[in-house]
Structure 1
Amino acid sequence: MLHHVELWVRDLERARERWGWLLGALGWEPYHEWGAGRSWRAGKTYLVIEESPALRPGTGHDRMRPGMNHLAFHAPDRGTVDALATGAAAHGWAVLFPERHPHAGGAEHYAVYLEDADGFEVEVVAT
């Protein structure tokens, strides 16, 4: 069981809006809030976004470099995947592989792949 994931972001408020929308749509609940961060929880697992004062200057996250490529979440059903794809642009996310959506992962895989302007990618899979 995964305990938690912590993502460092350059703009906490922008990330809070984007991740809050996405995680809320997947049934995650707000968990903690402090000056430099926010977290959401699903069961015993939680996700943190933080604008850490220890963040090094640089170009930001690049999912195409060594390191984490994306996070994958369960969706309760295909309707949730479809709603996320439809609402993504209004909440700061772009649908990746739109020409192959919702089967970009294969014919038996029903999912939406999203990327935000900070380069974070998520995959949401209907279970």
Structure 2
Amino acid sequence: MEISQGLHHVEINVHHLERTKAFYSWLLQELGFAVYQEWDKGVSYKNGTAYLVFTQTEEKYAKTPFHRKHTGLNHLAFWAKSRAQIDQLRVQLTNRNVSFLYEDKYPYAGGNEHFALFFEDPDRIKIEIVAAR
């Protein structure tokens, strides 16, 4: 019996592909991802064997905004290399005028043993960066 190798990829439709690429290109590079594929309606970033794909939402579907409380995706969580990396990302995100979630509980919004940073991407998808112990 062969054992599954885990997650292959996740694909997310976005309202403004160029804005999404500008947001994720630097962030995912900091987290060990590299551009994997690029085409006129999308881009993907790979880390190991798994990759994350962003595609431009078709215009006829673009009127409905994303909301993590609806059925479907709630958030994406990524491993950081360290707590120091999370602190550095927090400074970079602040400089990019990104709004944080649960700011009053940083860095333990996920619990006393869970060092993490929470914020939203341009489509309001919640992003969590978690420090490895």
TM over 0.5: yes
Which entry has the higher C-alpha Rg, 1 or 2? 2
State the 1:59 CA deviation: 2.9
Alpha-carbon separation, structure 1, partners of 2:9 and 2:60: 19
Matched positions, count: 127
Of 87, 93, 104, the residue aligned with 1:99 is 104
Residue 9 of structure 2: aligned partner: 4
Q: Deviations over 1:29-73 (max 9, x none)?
A: 111110011111000000011104376132321111111110111
> Where does structure 1 lack aligned partners over 5 or more consecutive residues?
none
Length-normalised TM-score, structure 1: 0.92
Q: Does 2:19 match 1:14?
A: yes
Task: State the identity %.
Answer: 39
Length-normalised TM-score, structure 2: 0.88
> Where does structure 2 lack aligned partners over 5 or more consecutive residues?
1-5
Residue 85 of structure 2: aligned partner: 80
Alignment of 1:22-33 (within 5 A): 22-33=27-38
Of 96, 118, 129, the residue aligned with 1:124 is 129
Alpha-carbon separation, structure 1, partners of 2:60 and 2:85: 34
Alpha-carbon separation, structure 2, partners of 1:92 and 1:67: 27
Question: Alignment RMSD, CA only?
Answer: 1.5
